[in-house]
Homo-oligomer: A and B are copies of this chain.
């Protein structure tokens, strides 16, 4: 059996992982396929927005000086000389007492510098009157008021969500340079594992970690390749790991990282000459989580216990993959909430408890053991209880990490 391992803190483990990541590279993707990608370069405004001064309302474009002195007892009258909708440009140049009827989004005609909203006018055929004076630039959307040509609007490393897509479209980017997605291998190890469609057998369980990790990757839009479940035999397992490293950018294994008699991953790291960044983390569940680097390829050795496996992915694999793609927001979004139940027993290690967060309070999602699978399915968050000598009580304010959120935070602060 191995010597006693030295645990590192979660923060230290996270930092060791992200500190070693190399970028996967960039590629050009069409705009319609860009949702969920990471922006490789800054998004620059190719023109002012709006790129012409326009009306934000349905109304009449006038020269403000023509409205001077207007009041309830001294209504000023205008004559409508043209009528345009959005997308149209009036050929008229507004003369004294003249106006152009125009719709929301239409370009301001020459000679005009203000817009009278319909509800500010009394209309009668081709004329209308107003009862107040208008200031220059009143009721206008000025050229460049939203963004200016050349401005960096969104920094490199941003997650491309629908709002970013809208901006890319606005500036005419039919395609966009994005971080290349790594291809990830998934290898579940354990003599006890059956395929999902196999019938149960004594002492065996179905492989749930493999499909779960595939879904965690799918949630991030990351392609993967699944390798056949490996029994706990060193040579077979090593051969599969070698094959996976040749075919993918990095490899996630589940199981085999503890100090049990059939835990061969530590031997495999040795045989590969991999640099083990850590093999024990001061956390529950998943203290045996191991991350190693062979050449420039990551080997994420997650625990075979389902909830430890799940948590290990979200804490260590996710930020690494995001950083490979050039993202600048690597970490799960975090908030605080009121704990709904006691956690009387203290633990020296930081605990991550699968939980249901409702915007105010947070409640453990159920049966809380590292080998439990039900609570993973019921939770939308992780309660973080710092390690130490005290327990926690219902009503305490606790840290919560949110799961299933498309963009996270740019620092790890726990």
A-to-B contact residues, CB < 8 Å: 1, 31-32, 34-36, 43, 47, 49-52, 54, 56, 58, 83, 85-89, 101, 103-107, 118, 141, 145-147, 153-154, 160-174, 190-193, 196-200, 202-216, 218-219, 231-232, 258-262, 304-306, 310, 333-336, 354, 358-360, 367, 369-380, 402-407, 409
Contacts and interface: CB of A to CB of B under 8 A. Distances in A.
- Which of A47, A206, A377 counts the most chain B CB atoms within 10 A? A377
A163 B376 contact: yes
Contacts of A168: 196, 211
A378 B160 CA distance: 10
A92 to B, nearest CB: 13
A185 to B, nearest CB: 15
A154 B378 contact: yes
Given A50-B205, A166-B208, A259 B58 contact: yes
Given A166-B209, A191-B85, A405-B404, A47 B200 contact: yes
A260 B104 contact: yes
Given A86-B192, A172-B197, A335 B310 contact: no
A contact face: mostly helix, strand, loop, or mixed: loop
B85 A377 contact: no
A265 to B, nearest CB: 14
Given A58-B258, A87-B204, A154-B378, 7 more contacts: A56-B371, A86-B232, A146-B367, A147-B374, A163-B373, A166-B208, A335-B360
22 contacts: A36-B218, A47-B200, A50-B371, A85-B192, A86-B192, A89-B203, A103-B260, A103-B262, A104-B304, A105-B205, A146-B374, A147-B373, A153-B377, A160-B215, A161-B380, A162-B212, A162-B213, A163-B379, A164-B377, A166-B215, A334-B359, A335-B360
A212 to B, nearest CB: 4
A369 B379 CA distance: 37
Q: Copy number of this protein in the oligomer?
A: 2
Contacts of A174: 196-197
Given A208-B167, A260-B85, A402 B405 contact: yes
Given A190-B105, A359-B333, A88 B146 contact: no
Contacts of A107: 202-203
Contact of A162 (B219, B261, B305, B378): B219
Contact of A304 (B83, B105, B165): B105
Contacts of A50: 205, 371
Contacts of A213: 162
